[in-house]
Structure 1
Amino acid sequence: MTGTLISLISIVIGIISANLFGRLYKQYTFGFKGNTLIGVFGSILLIKTFGRLGFDPWSIMNDGDFDGFRLIINLFVSALGGVFGLVLAKIMQKKLNR
């Protein structure tokens, strides 16, 4: 598994989590396309921020040695990024539409 593949999997997890959260909580949805777009950017933002602590894809690979614990943390943070991005976008939309 390469660092690029881990990055792509993280983005897909962010998309899935944003769409599932939007489906479960209708007040936070922007439709499928909106949730997908917000899931991508929320996931990337949180992974880039959290990756500075050593959970980026290249630290997971660690010179060819795979670290499963860091991968699980990376995927969990990616899912949280999708959800947080969706919630933040809805809060911003409510503030701007007052």
Structure 2
Amino acid sequence: MTGTLISLISIFIGILTANLFGYFRKKYTFGLTGNTLIGVFGSILLIKTFGRVGFDPWSIMKFGNFNSFLLTINLLVSAIGGIVGLISIKLIKNRMNK
């Protein structure tokens, strides 16, 4: 597994969780396209933020060894990023409509 593949999987997990969260919580949905875009940017933002701590894809594949614990944390942070992105955009939208 390469760092690029891990990055793509992380983004896909962000998209998937944002769409699932929007599906089950109708209050936070922006439709399929909106949830997908928010999932992409939310997961990338959180992965880049926490990647500085050592959970980025290249730390997972450091020295050619695969670290499954770091991958699990990376995917979890990506999923949380998609959900947090969806909630924060909804809060911003509600504040702007007032």
TM-score by length of 1: 0.99
The aligned counterpart of 1:21 is: 21
Q: Partners in 2 of 1:15 and 1:65 — Cα distance?
A: 27
Q: In the TM superposition, what whole-angstrom CA distance separates every residue of 1:4-42 from its partner, at most 9, and x where no partner exists?
A: 000000000000000000000000000000000000000
Q: Which residue of 2 aligns with 1:79?
A: 79
State the distance in 2 between where 1:8 and 1:57 align: 10
Q: 1:37 & 1:97 partners in 2: Cα distance?
A: 21
Q: What are the equivalent positions in structure 2 for 1:1-98 lying under 5 Å apart?
A: 1-98=1-98
SS of residue paired to 2:93: helix
Q: Which runs of 5+ in 2 are unaligned?
A: none
Q: Quote the Cα distance in structure 2 between the aligned partners of 1:11 and 1:75.
A: 9
Gaps of 5+ in 1: none
Distance 2:3 2:9 in 1: 10
Q: Secondary structure at the match of 1:63?
A: helix
The whole-number CA distance in structure 1 between the counterparts of 2:63 and 2:56 is 13
What's the CA shift for 1:64?
Answer: 0.5
Query: Per-residue CA shift, 1:47-76, capped at 9, x if unaligned?
Result: 000000000000000120000000000000
| RMSD of aligned residue pairs (Cα, Å) | 0.3
Number of aligned residue pairs: 98
* Letter of the 1:76 counterpart: L
Q: Which runs of 4+ in 1 moved over 4 A?
A: none
